[in-house]
């Protein structure tokens, strides 16, 4: 039976779920770091898979609640768009991890540290932005965080150019070039996902300001 509180959208569950989703996205980066450090990363891959599945469960609960709640604290399409954007982050991290492990013996001396550092920063900023939603924050505070997120994305683009320049220098085995380009692009895509989610948060706050 649907309670009157849920029917009228008086509870905070949507904010709880969105915050949990952003947290899962950020923690997925920590799990990725552990995977890269581990001699055998397959056990660590299980943790990433668990986080992606937990993210999917959160997304499904949000979808169910959108169907069962008459009045929501934010517009339905905004909640759904943000939920979908957040889910794509750990999903793409998992995809990167699977492909990296398949080709790990070809990746000796490869370093993803700079991209991971930007990704850790981006997901941390995004988690803060999502956490502000329930507070109905001033647009200036969210704009500042979103600008930091855009900066991370810009730095990731510059880094990608440098990485490709090295790959195309002729100093690397062609198969290694193909593998690394694919992995670099996946990490860049994760940061793009963070940017997209941050833009959604900013537009939500702008709408209510």
**Quick check: helix, strand or coil at residue 9?**
coil
**Which residue has 């507070």 as its token pair?**
135
pLDDT digits (tens, 9 = 90+) for 169-208: 988 899 999 999 999 999 999 999 999 999 999 999 998 8
Predicted local distance difference test score (pLDDT) of residue 12: 80
Residue 116: count of CB within 10 angstroms of its CB: 16
CA distance 162 to 180: 13
CA distance 24 to 53: 10
Q: Within its chain, how far is the Cα of 168 from the centroid?
A: 29
Backbone angles phi, psi at 174, to 5 degrees: -55, -40
**CA contacts within 13 A on the Cβ side of 43:** 5
pLDDT digits (tens, 9 = 90+) for 101-143: 888 888 877 789 999 999 999 999 999 999 999 988 889 999 9
**Which residue has 């600008």 as its token pair?**
147
Residue 111: DSSP 8-state: -
Residues above pLDDT 90, as percent of the chain: 66
Predicted local distance difference test score (pLDDT) of residue 11: 58
Asked if 28 and 89 touch (Cβ cutoff 8 Å), the reply is: yes
Q: Does the pLDDT of residue 68 top 90, yes or no?
A: no
Predicted local distance difference test score (pLDDT) of residue 51: 82
Predicted local distance difference test score (pLDDT) of residue 208: 83
Q: What is the mean pLDDT of residues 32-61?
A: 83
CA distance 60 to 186: 25
Asked if 107 and 100 touch (Cβ cutoff 8 Å), the reply is: yes
Domain interval for residue 103: 4-208
Q: What is the number of domains present in the chain? A: 1
Predicted local distance difference test score (pLDDT) of residue 8: 42
Q: What is the mean pLDDT of residues 139-153?
A: 95
Residues above pLDDT 70, as percent of the chain: 92
Handedness of CA 78, 79, 80, 84 (dihedral sign): positive
The CATH number assigned to the domain holding 50 equals: 1.20.58.220
CA distance 188 to 170: 23
More confident of the two residues 99 and 45: 99
- Alpha-carbon distances, residue 53 vs 24, 37, 94, 107, 125 (angstroms): 10, 23, 10, 28, 23
Q: Within its chain, how far is the Cα of 152 from the centroid?
A: 13
pLDDT bucket at 6, cuts 50 / 70 / 90: very low
Predicted local distance difference test score (pLDDT) of residue 97: 92
């Amino acid at each position: 039976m649907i309670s009157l509180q849920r029917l009228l959208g008086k509870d905070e569950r949507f904010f709880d779920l969105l915050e949990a989703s952003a947290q899962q996205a950020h923690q997925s980066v920590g799990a990725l770091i552990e995977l890269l450090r581990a001699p055998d990363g397959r056990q660590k891959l299980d943790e990433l898979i668990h986080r992606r599945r937990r993210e999917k469960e959160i997304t499904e609960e949000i979808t169910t609640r959108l169907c069962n709640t008459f009045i929501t604290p934010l517009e339905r399409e905004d909640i759904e768009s943000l939920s979908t954007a957040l889910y794509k982050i750990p999903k793409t991290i998992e995809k990167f991890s699977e492909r990296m492990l398949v080709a790990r013996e070809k990746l000796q001396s490869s370093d993803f540290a700079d991209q991971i550092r930007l990704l850790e920063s981006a997901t941390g900023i995004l988690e803060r932005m999502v956490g502000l939603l329930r507070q109905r924050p001033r647009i200036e505070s969210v704009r500042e965080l979103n600008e930091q997120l855009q900066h991370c994305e810009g730095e990731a683009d510059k880094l990608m150019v440098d990485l490709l320049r090295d790959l195309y220098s002729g100093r690397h085995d062609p198969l290694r070039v193909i593998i690394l380009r694919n992995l670099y692009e996946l990490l860049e895509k994760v940061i793009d996902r963070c940017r997209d989610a941050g833009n959604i948060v900013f537009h939500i706050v702008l709408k209510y300001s």
